Amino acid sequence: MSDTTELIRDWIEENISSGMALEGVEVVVTAETADLEPPFIAVYETSADPHESNSVVMYGVTDYEITVELQTVPLDASEGGTGTSDEKAMRSELYDIIANRAAIDWINDREDWRVFDIRQPS
């Protein structure tokens, strides 16, 4: 495995608990072209640039920007959508999964990857 989006997808899938709001929600990466019905989680890379520190490019170190989006239809379940309270629970659970700093150790255990930080740059 070498794709950053696949690593994030795998982390999310491994941390969705049964009986919780995201159970059964599909997680896809950009390259997957399946027909999807909301709700689903999309993971895609928006940029990848060599890391630069003090105007020196650090080759072999890359800053990735990865977006994770929960896609829903804002209608009640009886109308084929995801109700407001369900969507709020899904978003909260997804945030807890992707904000968990244990993701760093989990990803570092995978081949050829070392994560130094998962914070959004200021």
Would you list the DSSP string of 65-114? EEEEEEE---S-GGGTS--HHHHHHHHHHHHHHHT-THHHHHHHTSTT--
Instruction: Tell me, yes or no, if the pTM score tops 0.95.
Output: no
| Distance in angstroms (rounded) separating the CA atoms of residues 46 and 42 | 12
More confident residue, 110 or 40: 40
pLDDT given for residue 118 in this prediction: 63
Q: Decide: 82 and 90 in contact? Cβ < 8 Å.
A: yes
pLDDT given for residue 2 in this prediction: 44
| Distance in angstroms (rounded) separating the CA atoms of residues 57 and 12 | 31
More confident residue, 64 or 87: 87
> Which tens digit of pLDDT belongs to each residue from 25-55?
999 997 776 688 899 999 998 888 888 888 8
